[in-house]
């Protein structure tokens, strides 16, 4: 596995990985209605354009195995960890840890004091293990469907 900076050419693989991961890995914690609201199939094309832009502006890394994107994560320049997803077939192999290590290292270089994230139910334990503290549980609405996630914070030292 190698962790490299995101390139615009990675966009399609990244967006596809997001959809596949949400609809498989997160299905243990969210209903089908919630998954469809979180990652609606009919938004894939529009997401390609918006994500190409946001991932290019954020500090974004992708994990690749044999030139295939198996994970990605991004951080804004103000310390908001926007996305972290690992392919369903590559869970539990240290990919999320490697991606977060890279982002936390970048945060230190930027002299950020903290990183905040809105973690899914599925990702909450991972972030807790990494030293992120729960600020609050929150309910977000997507397409009229409520989803629970957790606002979490980690001080960068």
Q: What structural domains does the chain harbor?
A: 2-111 (3.40.630.30)
Query: Residues 103-131: what's their mean pLDDT?
Result: 97
Whether the pLDDT of residue 45 is over 90: the answer is no
Task: Report pLDDT for 157.
Answer: 81
Strand blocks (E) in 11-144: 59-65, 68-75, 80-86, 114-120, 133-142
Mean pLDDT of 49-72: 96
């Amino acid at each position: 596995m190698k962790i490299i900076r995101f390139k615009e050419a990675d966009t399609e693989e990244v967006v596809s990985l997001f959809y596949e991961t949400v609809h498989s890995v997160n299905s243990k914690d969210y209903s089908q209605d919630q998954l469809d609201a979180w990652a609606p199939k009919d938004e894939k094309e529009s997401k390609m354009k918006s994500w190409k832009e946001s991932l290019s502006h954020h500090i974004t890394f992708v994990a690749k195995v044999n030139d295939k994107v198996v994970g990605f994560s991004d951080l804004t320049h103000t310390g908001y960890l926007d996305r972290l997803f690992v392919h369903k077939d590559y869970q539990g192999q240290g990919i999320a840890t490697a991606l977060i290590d890279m982002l936390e290292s970048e945060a230190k270089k930027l002299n950020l004091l903290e990183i905040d994230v809105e973690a899914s139910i599925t990702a909450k334990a991972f972030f807790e293990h990494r030293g992120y503290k729960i600020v609050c549980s929150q309910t977000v609405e997507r397409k009229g469907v409520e989803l629970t996630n957790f606002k979490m914070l980690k001080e960068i030292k």
